Structure formats: C-alpha cells, structure tokens
Amino acid sequence: MTDSLSFDAILKTDKPPSFPIRSAVILAAGMGARLKGRTKFTPKSFVRLGDKTILEESILRLLDVGIQRIVIVTGYLSEQFEPLKARYGGKVELVHNPHFADSGTLYSLSCARELVEESFLLLEADLVYERRALTTCLEHPSDNVLLVAGFSNTSDEYFVESRNGDLLTISRNRESLGAEVRGEMVGICKISYSLFSQMLPTSDYRFQTTRHLGYEMDGLISAARDMPISCPVVDDLVWCEIDDETQYAHARDNIYPVVSILDSERELRVSAILKTRGVLGVNN
C-alpha cells in the first residue's frame, strides 16, 4: 500500500503550495535553418542525441516534475508532432503557428493564448538540460522567473542584466550592459498568468507592424518594467541549445553525456528509495 507515501516528496518535485504550476508551453515552431540537412525532413526539436528526440526528453522531464499539461506550439512540419498527443496519454496538446516562416517566438507564444489559462513554465524546444533547470524555476518563490546559467563562453550567448536579482535587460553584447550581469539566459521561464495577460495586448499592437518579435527581448523585457521577473542563477547548470552544427556537436559530445549520467543517477536513487519503502519489488 502507498496511501501514506507521497511520490512527489520522494522525487523532490513538490512545488510551493501557494503557486502550483501544472502547465508548460514549449515553443517548437522554428525551421532550424542553421542545422541545414538535419532539419530538411524533420523539425529541429526532433534531433536525437539518445534514444528519444530532444523534444520528447524535455516532455519526460516536465512530466517527471509534476507538469500535467504540455502545450507545444508547432509550425514547420507540424504534422510530425501529431503522434505525441496519443503517445503521452493526452497530456500533450498542439497549437499551430500559421505564420511560423515569418514570425518570432513572441508570436508563437501568443498562438497558445486560447489554451493557457493559468501560470506555466515556458521552454524553448531546442534545449538539452538537466532536470534541475525545471525545479529551480518551480521552487523559486517568485511568480515570474527567468532562469540564468553561468557563463558558457560560447558564441551565441544572451547575457542577462538584473537589478537586485530582477530582470533589467537581455543582450547579446555583454559590453552594452551594466555591472549586474551574472550569467546567460537558458530559455526556461516561469510565467504567471497575470504577466502573460499583460504581455498579450502590447504584443498584439506590435504585431500590426511586424511578427518578428522574440518573447524574451520584446516580451519579457518590456513587461519587467511593470512586473518584477526574478533571475535565479545556477552557475554550474548543465545545458545547451542546438541552433547549428557546432552547437549540435557540443551537445552530443559534452552536454548530453553528462545530462544522461545525472538522469541515470537520479533514477537509481529514486528506485532505491522506493524499494526500501516497499513500493517496488526487489526484482524491479
């Protein structure tokens, strides 16, 4: 019997009771043009470093930390995402960005408005990351969070400037920023419904001129002027994005092997705990 046992407690996925997060939005509409041949017939998020695509590995991590509903914004080759709905027992929902070829991530995020009615985690689809990236956002007491990692010294960083720990601005040019630059944007956020509701009207007005807007540069920075967005820093976070062949090789050779080890070690720890509590049989 497991009535007295909290699986969330065992897995350490408890979220602050005053701010539970049950939903996530993954932005997966992009064409991945810089990956050339790898995305000719498949979406960028369908790149494989292990047995599953990086998108499915992200889905599994979200489910592992207690997320119950995952909305994926599709665009390029959207039909290839359809099997995910059945594969994950209805926990995955899809919404299409019909302007994926001439829009940015802010427009993709706005396409999810009819399916998002509560606070949520927001993720980019081309990420390889350890589970701690999610739990850091979920466990942070602030309603709005932009996750920041230590400096990677790669060629594609988005540096985050904060003031007293809250988002001030983001730039690819570190020299243009002030003194409080402690790391790089990861591409994982916690967004309150009130923040999302504030972003939409401004975005809709700007879409009349252009749809080429980013959720971070054109959405979060603007919103942060009126609503604080915390920027917790995890200096040793293991993560990367995959935008081009250089980043793919880095993910394959350096990041994914470490993430896989971290995942395996956690699974062994959880399995051992469950066995000692009589939840799993000795032969499991």
Tokens 């995942």 belong to 263
Given a cut of 50, whether residue 91 has pLDDT beyond it is yes
pLDDT band at 2 (very low <50, low <70, confident <90, very high): very low
**Does residue 35 lie in a domain region?**
yes
Taking Cα atoms as reference points, which of 78, 25, 28, 14 lies closest to residue 191?
Answer: 25
What's the token pair of residue 37?
Answer: 């041949």
Residue 175 lies in a domain: no
Q: How many residues does the chain have?
A: 284
Residue type, 160: V
- pLDDT bin (cut points 50, 70, 90) of residue 263 is confident
Element (H, E) at 221: helix 221-223
In the predicted structure, residue 279 carries a pLDDT above the cut 80:
no
In a domain, 131, yes or no: yes
Domain membership flag for residue 248 = yes
Residue 15 has pLDDT above 50, yes or no: no
Residue 161 in any domain: the answer is no
d(CA 189, CA 91): 20
> Model confidence over 173-192: pLDDT tens digits?
999 999 899 999 999 999 99
165 found inside a domain: no
One-letter amino acid identity for 83? P
The predicted pLDDT at position 6 comes to 41
Phi-psi category of residue 32: left, alpha or beta, with phi > 0 → left and psi -120 to 50 → alpha: left
Residue range 95-115: average pLDDT? Answer: 97
Distance CA 172, CA 159 (A): 6
Decide if 166 is inside a domain: no
- Structural domain count, the chain: 1
CATH number of the CATH domain containing 202: 3.90.550.10
Q: How confident is the model at residue 79 (pLDDT cuts 50, 70, 90)?
A: very high
Boundaries of domain holding 270: 19-147+184-276
Closest CA to 250 of 123, 124, 128: 128
Q: Could you tell me what percentage of the chain is helix, strand and coil, using 3-state DSSP and rounding each to the nearest 5?
A: 40, 20, 40
pLDDT at 96: 98
CA 262 to chain centre: 18
H/E run at residue 249:
helix 245-250
Domain assignment of residue 176, yes or no: no
At 153 the pLDDT is 83
Average pLDDT across the chain, whole number:
89
